[in-house]
Amino acid sequence: MTKHIDEQLQKLDEALRHLFTELDNYSESKLNQKPTPKSWSVFQIMHHLIRTEGYSLKYVQKKLSYNPTLKNANFLTHIRVFSAKLYNRFPFKIKAPESVGEGLPDLSAFWETAKVWKNQREELRAYLKELPESTFKKEVYKHPIFGRMTLSGMLTFFEQHFERHQRQIYKTLEQVDAVKIK
């Protein structure tokens, strides 16, 4: 694993620890509450992020399992990552792919959800640690909208995606706090 990848993972893990610390101050019923029938609860947002990261890892594992010929990263690769970063800064949204946006659990428990996410992150770190350094210069990951990226680009997407949904989590918490339970 490269030093840069390790630093990206550390940053992701720190952001996740911070989120868990913040959310530990709320009841599970509040975290399971949707502000509107068509929106996601905090836990559903978390499960969306877990699925996105998990499916991305599975994609990379499968892709690399058959020793494919991969292109080296180039200028276009960096443009794709930049596009993903730029998108995550805009207020408009793109509907999540069905695999990561539908069928999210209606009820969850905080520490079970946190444990699943932490274990998945540990699996990601262990997997990336075993890869040859040359792999990190290749277009390994394929984002469903923005296209081929390096593994660093994938982690950049994770970071930006997390930040976008973290804002959604805080907005959801404000909304459910304002909702009067009858």
Q: Tell me what the mean pLDDT of segment 55-76 comes to.
A: 93
Lowest mean pLDDT among 45-54, 73-82, 129-138, 170-179: 170-179
- Other C-beta atoms closer than 10 Å to the C-beta of 5 total 20
pLDDT at 123: 97
Q: Where are the domains of the chain?
A: 1-12+40-97+132-182
Q: 91 phi and psi, to 5 degrees?
A: -75, -20
- Model pLDDT for residues 112-131, shown as the tens digit of each residue: 999 999 999 999 999 999 99
Say what the pTM is: 0.91
pLDDT at 173: 95
- Split at pLDDT 50, 70, 90, the class of 182 is very low
Q: Is the dihedral of CA 82, 85, 87, 93 positive or negative?
A: positive
